[in-house]
Amino acid sequence: MSTRDATLTQARELTHFIGGKQVRGADAKSGGRFGEVFNPTTGDLSGRVPLASKAETEQAIANAEAAFREWAATSPLARARVMFRFKELVEKHLEELALLISSEHGKVLSDAKGSVQRGLEVVEFACGIPHLLKGEYSDSVSAGIDVYSMRQPLGVCAGITPFNFPAMVPMWMFPIAIACGNPFILKPSEKDPSCPQRLGELMLEAGAPPGVLNVLNGDKEAVDTVLTDPRVHAVSFVGSTPIARYVFSTASMSGKRVQALGGAKNHMVVMPDADIDVAADALMSAAYGSAGERCMAISVAVPVTDRTANELVEAMTPRIRKLKVGSSIDAASEMGPLVTREHREKVKGYIDLGVKEGANLVVDGRDFSLKKHPKGFFLGGSLFDKVKPAMRIYKEEIFGPVLSVVRARTFDEALALPSDHEYGNGVAIFTRNGDVARNFAQKVSCGMVGINVPIPVPLSFHSFGGWKSSIFGDMYQHGPEGVRFYSRIKTVTARWREGVKPAANFGMPTMK
């Protein structure tokens, strides 16, 4: 037996979670396919994840559809109580969930716990579903006629989520969908599937009937089945822009509601009056937290004037060189490894490209390795200065621990950079001037703005989403827009006139 065969034999075999049960994937003799899950810190293979076929995906959809009628008829108050119990269970198992994330994604434990907590905030929002689903009522719009509206569930809904937040992003989706009365199929990333599956188990333990939350592992075959199956009524997606565009066009053509969130190139403008140390500390967490694998990571710093730029680069350089890169489960680590070997090589390739394009590589993280884990998927933090807007390292999403400094001469020049960029997810400005900050927030062409806040992710009772090529579809995730996305409105016009037999009327009711 070869070393690789022995490793495969030792690797943990993961399952789907369908209809309230652990479901093994079809074995290789029956045409089953499997993906590999790694521990990014050690570089070792840790699991084999089944990749659902079209037939297996259709069976998962059938399980969800079978659960729809009973769950939709369950009162919003009873659904809210399930959410309250689910919240308690997630809090109880927070350490376990964070460890699953760190072991398969590579983000450090403190970051993993924080991401679960941000997902929990959406669960807390969903606990208010009896209020959130209330309709409107208009009394006596005409003689004896009242009009009222109600919000009702859609049917089977699906979520396709990325590797970088295996707990938070799924919890942006399924708690609201399920609270609205819809069964849900979650297709998480096959790179780190263990935490999403555990969430499915906890939802069942919280009292959701079998089939209300299903976790299906898979690749393009499973995704395409979800996007085109007529039993799926709505699809929510977070990932890269090319795939977001594909998900939106394919699912929309199949008659589904779609919210597809894509890539980002988030800028942070630093004005001459900003506190440079405060801005540098903010950039450290925003650019290098989670190894830069965040759709809201700051990957471009825009200092206004050369003096500001020089001070910022001077402040950032020693901070980056002192960055504690280490094991994802080491409490002393500030940044862990990247998610896969392939992704690490992709990010290194962008650093090579930046040097070739003529940017000034101030801090080079390409040669970092951890002595204890030499096979781990590590990079150190990298910093480019004097990056130009025509360079690919500026135009494209790198999704790694690489920060580019693009110098601007004036406020207007700084404002134009994020406004003219292909992506429009998030942006920030650091300044002490309220008029400048207000002017920037009003004029910048991005969906989420931070003022002296480097990562402006809205809290759960607001909605999350960008502009331009960062989103496809009309409704954002979670918050009020999430409730609207996962429910549809029905309006009733009713006449109650005791003892009066109205004459035939062939017109529509009016206010007369």
Which candidate in 127, 157, 180, 295 is catalytic?
A: 295
- In 3D space, the residue among 485, 291, 481 whose CA is nearest the CA of residue 382 turns out to be 291
Is 295 a known active-site residue? yes
Under 8 Å CB-to-CB from 114, ≥6 apart: which residues? none
Q: State how far the alpha carbon of 63 is from the alpha carbons of 58, 69, 95, 177, 209, in Å.
A: 9, 12, 31, 16, 11
Residue burial 118-144, b: 16+ Cβ < 10 Å; e: rest = bbbbbbebbbebeebbeeeeeeeeeee
Q: Tokens 């500001």 appear where?
A: 308
Reading the block at residue 194, the tokens are 């263990």
Q: Tokens 């206004």 appear where?
A: 304
Q: Rounded to an integer, what distance in angstroms lies between the CA atom of residue 191 and that of residue 399?
A: 16
CA atoms within 13 A on the CB side of 510: 4
Pair 267, 234: CB distance under 8 Å: no
Phi then psi for residue 238, to 5 deg, are: -135, 130
| DSSP, res 373 | B
Q: Rounded to an integer, what distance in angstroms lies between the CA atom of residue 226 and that of residue 230?
A: 9
Could you list the beta-strand ranges (E) of 154-283: 156-160, 184-187, 213-215, 232-238, 257-261, 266-270
The SS3 assignment for 376 reads coil
Q: Rounded to an integer, what distance in angstroms lies between the CA atom of residue 62 and that of residue 23?
A: 14
Radius of gyration of the chain (CA): 25
Could you list the beta-strand ranges (E) of 69-160: 137-142, 145-153, 156-160
Reading the block at residue 323, the tokens are 């960055």
Q: Which residues belong to the active site?
A: 295
